[in-house]
Structure 1
Amino acid sequence: MNELTVDLQIASAATRLPTQEDIERWVAAALAGHQCQQGAAELTVRIVDEEEGRELNLAYRERDYATNVLSFPFTAPVPMPVTLLGDLIVCAPVVAKEAQEQGKTEHAHWAHMIVHGTLHLLGYDHIEDAEADQMERLETSILSGLGFADPYAEVGD
């Protein structure tokens, strides 16, 4: 891929957030090996607090709680000169809480959530067991290439 544009929107009061460069590196790693029109891709990453995360999860998934990452893929109605992948909504307080519960650094869990969400934008899913296995293997491989441990390993492994 030749060009990646990440529109980073910070709508959170959280202070320990990944940098624009971190997010771009993680997205690029998830996109490696996937064809994008004209070699260019664009997506939005919006970092939110629990209230907005809960509202969006309720509106789009009918689940009344904030979740770690929501993915909204975009499909262009006509060919476009750039691949518009869609939007990722990441709830900073949920990522921080999960990282602590899972015994991971926040940085590692942020990387996992960005890679996970980007793969959803590419069409990967984890509803069926076979899909989940494929997606988890791919996430683990991508994160390993970025220098992170297996995100699915049990704490203490």
Structure 2
Amino acid sequence: MIHIVDIQNACDAQILPSDDLFQLWVNSALNTITTQAFELTIRLVNSDESQHLNKQYRKKDKPTNVLSFPFEVPEGIELNLLGDLVICSSVVEQEASTQNKALFDHWAHMVIHGCLHLVGYDHINDTDANEMEALEIKILAKLSIANPYNI
């Protein structure tokens, strides 16, 4: 199934994945867990916007790699809008470098991680974290990307 992905580039990064890669990563994540077609937005931002949103919605005054904003469909309305991912390019780049990961492998992980959040997965407790991480590892392996938690 091909999901509709709207990419909004609001960052000044020089090296970003192609729209085709974003599409591949979204499809890989969502097709592993659902047969329903979805639509989502991926907004690529600089650290200032990431920090602002992280502070506003999570009360954490620092930029972060990915924020997920699931769309809450009003009762009685049929809509395939999944939500929005906000990914901070500079944080993703810095983490990839620090963790000695290939840049686009880390991008893939952040997109997949965010998509799983949009459909309800979380990592608040150890049980949920283990389930979510196992699913991420499985999806990434299908893309020939190594386990991101083996750092």
- With structure 1 as the length reference, what TM-score do the two structures score? 0.92
Tell me how far apart the structure 2 counterparts of residues 111 and 51 of structure 1 sit (CA, whole Å): 22
2:147 is the counterpart of 1:140 = no
Cα pair 2:50 2:88 within 8 Å, conserved = yes
Letter aligned with residue 77 of structure 2:
P
- Contact 2:32–2:139 under 8 Å retained in 1: no
After superposing on structure 2, the runs of 4+ consecutive aligned residues of structure 1 that deviate more than 2 Å are 33-36
Instruction: Give the CA deviation at 1:15.
Output: 1.0
Among the aligned pairs, what percent are the same residue? 48
Q: Which runs of 5+ in 1 are unaligned?
A: none
CA distance in 2, matches of 1:101, 1:85: 31
Does residue 16 of the first structure (1) align with residue 15 of the second (2)? yes
| Structure 2 residue runs without a partner (length 5+) | none
Corresponding residue number in structure 2 for 1:31:
30
Q: Secondary structure at the match of 1:32?
A: helix
Report the counterpart of residue 117 of structure 1 in structure 2: 114
- What RMSD in Å do the two structures reach over aligned CA positions? 1.1
- Corresponding residue of 1:76: 73
2:53 is equivalent to residue 53 of structure 1: no
State whether structure 2 residue 40 is matched by structure 1 residue 43. yes
**The residue matched to 2:44 in structure 1 has which SS?**
strand
CA change 1:33–1:97 in 2 (3 A) is closer
